[in-house]
Structure 1
Amino acid sequence: MNLFSYIKKIIPGLFLCILLAQLGVFLGKFVPSIGGAPLAIFLGLLSGNTFAKSKIFASGSKFSESDLLSYSIVLLGGTLSINTILQLGFSGIIFIVLQMALTIGITMFIGKKLGFSKHFRALMASGNAVCGSSAIGASSPVINAEENDKGISITIVNLTGTLLMFALVPIAGFLYNFETLQTSALLGGILQSVGQVIAAGSMVNHNVLEMSTIFKIVRIVFLVVIVIWLSKEFHNKELEVDTEFALEEEAYAKKKTKISIPWYITGFFILCTLFTFGLIPPQVSKVFKMISSQFEIIALAGIGMRVNIGELIKQGPKASLYGLLVGLSQIVIAIVLIKIFL
């Protein structure tokens, strides 16, 4: 597909996301206690499950949800100093590592008790522990997961994250009175996708948005570790075959585990470094911040549009229960770890 055809394909959905985003911002002025970000998501959710269910909007909403959000994250790096990232400290890193490890353990345990296959449990574990659909997509080939398991896990993880996105804000207000570090750890340490973290952070304040995004970015960096672990775990336990075939599979597994960090994370750190050393002037940083905010609100509308309520109902109560129990477990784990380390 050439560039012109691609642009033509994304225009309807992108235009609708822009319209919903601006409508959300406008309505947010009348209900400042809610704000434009959650309203953009709600409008996207309403539209995507009613009049905008047509495939003509799919490419544009996907572009808004993924590409625009990625650009927003990169530009956000041009507004933050490395000193801000260092505020996480050693205790913040330990919190993230333990939160991820315990999420994986509890997800595998709950899934086993509910009778799900090991492959499906592994996809659910990586998606909830790291970064939702991206982690599932990276983990799927190294464990030879079925397409059906991949599709269902993506649906359940995304829906769980969407529900948590709205639930965690009042929890943070009640427990931490929106204190920046603790609230950011709760949001950035639990929520499944970057978009959900940004959306939830937007509902609190800009400081929480920035810090929770940093927590999330650190989690994404650990994606490489999770994928390598899954590769070894499934390779060691499932490839009990003759030596020659095992060596071939081992070489293939190692090849598949060469998972790179998403490009927008690299871009974020490059701009963050440039800003730290004063190579990005304050005026340019302000422009980055303005554009990043605009891309962000459009992406949130796209995220709402791509939540398929009908698909969730189709998965049945058992899969939904799995997602709910994992989400509740993540909240409990995070609250305990925040109490200990932060």
Structure 2
Amino acid sequence: MTTENKQNQEKPRKNPNSNTKWTWIGGVVFTFLIALSGYLLALLPGFAYVGQLACAIIIAIIYRQIFGYPKNLKSGITFSSKKLLRVAIILYGLRLNINIVLNDGLGLLIRDAVVIIFAILLMIWLAKVFKANTTISLLLGVGTGVCGAAAIAAVAPIVKSKDEDTAISVGIIALMGTIFSIIYTIIRPILPISNIDYGIWSGISLHELAHVALAAAPAGEDALAMALLAKLGRVFLLIPLCFILIYVIKLKKNGSSKPDTKIAFPWFLIGFIIFSILGTYVFGSVIPVSDEFMNGVYTLSTWLLTAAMVGLGLSVSLKDLRTKAMKPLIAMVITSIALSILAYFIV
């Protein structure tokens, strides 16, 4: 054996998993740092209306355009945008009180269903008219009809949306929802409807839970309670909607000549359902749980969702944003206006 071979044998071998572990941790931490930046930005006057989620996505997109995608942190960033996203959706189930929806919101559920069907079908039709990106348009239709970013995040794996398309959709929904909620608060005093009806109108037509709260709060506690109840009904309908989408996509693929007919089952939806049941029937009644604990879980789910959206936002190219998002954005503006008008007349 030569001296060179002996030296090579004596050198300690580097563990390839060591680098992978640190880049993974670094990627996850990186998404949370940008999420923190979004949180701090949302504290500034004016940006509070935009919200932590949208601010974080904007920062992530700007970072990508200036510094490029941090490829050395890709594994951790992907973990945030895929795995943490699913955990956030599961925890989001605790926000849905099934008992309240079934006991007090059955009448609202019918109107919620009408709103969801209308928003999705109109977005799909407008996408064909404008020749817009089909995936982004569908995600925006679901986000507009159901519950904004959370609905988009839940549906994206089912329709096999690209990370970039999902991030674009979330960014648009956050922006438009903020604009519409501010418009609602401005026109509320001149609307010829009661505060309760205004609350219901906000709950069945606005995009995000935060947007509903922002718009309904000035009308009083009763209006806010009805708004949130109407919104909870839309969140509740996210569950059957996802299963309907799975069924429709399978039918389309089975009827096509494409060999790949498999659709990964979104198991995180089962987690969403389980946590909804736990939050409704177990926590607080069978198992004593403090409000501080529940608020802590809500905060955790918000941070996880924000970090996940940062991961998605880092994959957005502004060049693609201009070419892919403009037509779906126009379609969504039309859909949101039409939805507000429809909701106003069915309240």
TM-score bin, normalised by smaller chain: 0.5 to 0.7
Give the match for residue 172 of structure 2. 160
Once the two structures are superposed, residues 234-277 of structure 1 have per-residue CA deviations (whole angstroms, 9 ceiling, x without a partner) of 655x56xxxxxxxxx9xx96x75976672342233232233467
Mean CA deviation greater in 88-97 or 29-38: 29-38
1:19 to 2:33 alignment: yes
Give the match for residue 307 of structure 1. 313
CA contact (8 A) 1:61 1:303 kept: no
Can you give the 5+ residue segments of structure 2 that lack an aligned partner in the other structure? 1-15, 143-150, 190-194, 218-223
SS of match in other structure, 1:139? coil
**Matching of residues 237-252 of structure 1 within 5 Å:** 238=256
**Matching of residues 195-234 of structure 1 within 5 Å:** 197=208, 200=211, 212=231, 215-232=234-251
CA contact (8 A) 1:160 1:323 kept: no
User: For 1:288, which of 294, 297, 300 is the aligned residue?
Assistant: 294
**Matching of residues 63-74 of structure 1 within 5 Å:** 63-74=79-90
Once the two structures are superposed, residues 155-206 of structure 1 have per-residue CA deviations (whole angstroms, 9 ceiling, x without a partner) of 653443243243333233235589654333333xx4xxxxxx3665686679
Give the match for residue 320 of structure 1. 325
User: For 1:135, which of 155, 158, 174 is the aligned residue?
Assistant: 155
Can you give the 5+ residue segments of structure 1 that lack an aligned partner in the other structure? 141-148, 191-196, 240-248
- Look up the equivalent residue of 1:164 and give its one-letter code: M
1:97 to 2:102 alignment: no
Once the two structures are superposed, residues 285-318 of structure 1 have per-residue CA deviations (whole angstroms, 9 ceiling, x without a partner) of 521321331441353254245325862423654x
Residues 81 and 309 from structure 1, CA distance in 2 versus in 1: closer, same or farther, beyond 3 angstroms? closer
Counterpart Cα distance in 2 of 1:57 and 1:202: 36
User: For 1:169, which of 138, 156, 181 is the aligned residue?
Assistant: 181
Name the TM-score, length of structure 1 as normaliser.
0.67
Give the match for residue 279 of structure 1. 286
Residues 261 and 61 from structure 1, CA distance in 2 versus in 1: closer, same or farther, beyond 3 angstroms? closer
SS of match in other structure, 2:287? coil
Residues 92 and 171 from structure 1, CA distance in 2 versus in 1: closer, same or farther, beyond 3 angstroms? farther
Give the match for residue 54 of structure 1. 70
SS of match in other structure, 1:132? helix
CA contact (8 A) 1:159 1:312 kept: no
CA contact (8 A) 1:24 1:40 kept: yes
Counterpart Cα distance in 2 of 1:47 and 1:210: 38
Deviation at 1:150, TM superposition (A): 5.7
Once the two structures are superposed, residues 220-246 of structure 1 have per-residue CA deviations (whole angstroms, 9 ceiling, x without a partner) of 43111133234435655x56xxxxxxx
Aligned residues: 307
1:106 to 2:111 alignment: no
- Look up the equivalent residue of 2:123 and give its one-letter code: T
Give the match for residue 330 of structure 1. 335
- Look up the equivalent residue of 2:152 and give its one-letter code: G
1:267 to 2:274 alignment: yes
Once the two structures are superposed, residues 110-129 of structure 1 have per-residue CA deviations (whole angstroms, 9 ceiling, x without a partner) of 3333446xxx64x4554233
SS of match in other structure, 1:314? helix
CA contact (8 A) 2:85 2:153 kept: no
Counterpart Cα distance in 2 of 1:290 and 1:11: 23
1:34 to 2:71 alignment: no
Residues 274 and 59 from structure 1, CA distance in 2 versus in 1: closer, same or farther, beyond 3 angstroms? farther
Deviation at 1:328, TM superposition (A): 1.4
- Look up the equivalent residue of 1:339 and give its one-letter code: Y
Deviation at 1:323, TM superposition (A): 0.6
- Look up the equivalent residue of 1:322 and give its one-letter code: K
Counterpart Cα distance in 1 of 2:275 and 2:65: 33
Residues 68 and 174 from structure 1, CA distance in 2 versus in 1: closer, same or farther, beyond 3 angstroms? farther
Mean CA deviation greater in 200-209 or 88-97: 200-209
SS of match in other structure, 1:100? helix
Deviation at 1:18, TM superposition (A): 3.1
CA contact (8 A) 2:58 2:313 kept: no
Deviation at 1:64, TM superposition (A): 4.0
CA contact (8 A) 2:85 2:308 kept: no
Counterpart Cα distance in 1 of 2:56 and 2:245: 33
- Look up the equivalent residue of 2:105 and give its one-letter code: G
Name the TM-score, length of structure 2 as normaliser.
0.66
